């Protein structure tokens, strides 16, 4: 029954350690069980039990390489679920206890990956610029001009997948939508490949490089505060 399945999912998410695992995995990378144990500050054996439950529920996918067990979010659908829950909660970061924690919070708000696309002020700024130039509609569907622009400027080839080309993803820090879908994923991957964005620390925060600032300004007139 749907009620039972919903209750089971809610119970699965109602654990601080499992929630920390899911938030860490929102960077789209595969993590080892020991890495996630360290991130959540739990024993490796405890982490393994939690991860097994998340894999069995279909939220995570796993693969083994030698002695290591790697896990990552099962796909965009699962990432969207986490991001939507965060957006529903709204900005909930507690006051930072240290200067380092405050800097990390601000870095996430400036720019981050949301699974495989850009979020934060950077993601919203890129989305707004594409919309202003008619590359996206107001509800963030890709226009014909937008597809042509992506193919010409960012070497985009629409993949053979059921995933939408472009869709809106509500940004939980900016309270506005940023671009997701295969187009959003390609924009993010292209910026990384060109070294226009670079990761900040070990989390999912990213920042524009000087080269990236120039490139995005020339391409879209983007100016990120």
| Sequential DSSP letters for the chain | -HHHHHHHHHHHH--HHHHHHHHHGGGS--EEHHHHHHHHT--HHHHHHHHHHHHHTTSEEEEEETTEEEEEES-HHHHHHHHHHHHHH---PPPPSSHHHHHHHHHHHH-EEETTEEEHHHHHHHHHHHHHTTSB-TT-PBPHHHHHHHHHHS-----SSSS-SSEEEE-TTTSSEEEEHHHHHHHHHHHHHTTSEEE-TTSSBEEE-HHHHHHHHHHH-----
Average pLDDT over the chain, rounded to an integer = 88
Write down the domain spans for the chain: 2-74, 96-220
Tell me, what's the pLDDT at 56? Answer: 93
pLDDT above 60: residue 101: no
Is 70 exceeded by the pLDDT of residue 95? Answer: no
pLDDT tens digit string along 23-36? 888 888 889 988 89
Mean of pLDDT values over 84-95: 70
Query: In the structure, what pLDDT confidence band is assigned to residue 137 with cuts at 50, 70 and 90?
Result: very high
Give the mean pLDDT of 164-191: 92
Q: What is the mean pLDDT of residues 57-80?
A: 88
Q: Which tops the pLDDT comparison, 175 or 55? A: 55
Average pLDDT over residues 80-109: 72
How far is residue 126's CA from residue 26's CA, in Å, rounded to a whole number? 20
As a whole-number percent, the residues of the chain with pLDDT over 90 amount to 53
Would you state the pLDDT for residue 100?
A: 63
| CATH number of 2-74, picked from 3.30.300.130, 3.30.70.890, 1.10.10.10, 3.90.1010.10 | 1.10.10.10
Q: What percent of the chain shows pLDDT beyond 70?
A: 92
**pLDDT above 70: residue 102:** no
Q: Which pLDDT band holds residue 128 (cuts at 50, 70, 90)?
A: very high
pTM, full prediction: 0.74
Q: Which pLDDT tens digit goes with each residue over 41-57?
A: 899 899 999 999 999 99
What is the pLDDT at residue 127? Answer: 96
Measure the CA–CA gap between 178 and 126, rounded to whole angstroms: 8
Separation between Cα atoms, residue 205 and residue 17, nearest integer Å: 21
pLDDT tier at 225, thresholds 50, 70, 90? low
pLDDT at 53: 94
């Amino acid at each position: 029954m749907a009620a039972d399945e919903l209750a089971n999912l809610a119970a699965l998410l109602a654990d601080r350690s499992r929630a920390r695992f899911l938030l860490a995995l929102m960077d789209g990378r595969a993590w080892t069980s020991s890495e996630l144990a360290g991130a959540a500050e739990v024993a490796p054996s405890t982490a393994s039990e939690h991860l097994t439950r998340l894999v069995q529920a279909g939220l995570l996918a796993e693969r083994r390489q030698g002695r290591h067990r790697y896990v990552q979010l099962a796909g965009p659908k699962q990432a969207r679920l986490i991001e939507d829950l965060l957006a529903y909660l709204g900005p909930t970061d507690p006051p930072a206890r240290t200067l380092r924690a405050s800097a990390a919070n601000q870095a996430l708000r400036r720019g981050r990956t949301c699974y495989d696309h850009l979020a934060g002020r950077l993601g919203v700024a890129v989305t707004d610029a594409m919309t202003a130039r008619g590359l996206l509609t107001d509800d963030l569907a890709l226009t014909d001009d937008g597809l042509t622009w992506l193919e010409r400027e960012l070497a985009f080839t629409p993949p053979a997948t059921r995933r939408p080309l472009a869709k809106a993803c509500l940004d939980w820090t900016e309270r506005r939508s940023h671009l997701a879908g295969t187009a959003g994923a390609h924009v993010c991957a292209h910026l990384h490949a060109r070294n226009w964005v670079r990761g900040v620390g070990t989390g999912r925060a990213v920042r524009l490089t000087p080269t990236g600032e120039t490139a995005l300004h020339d391409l879209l007139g983007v100016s990120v505060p």
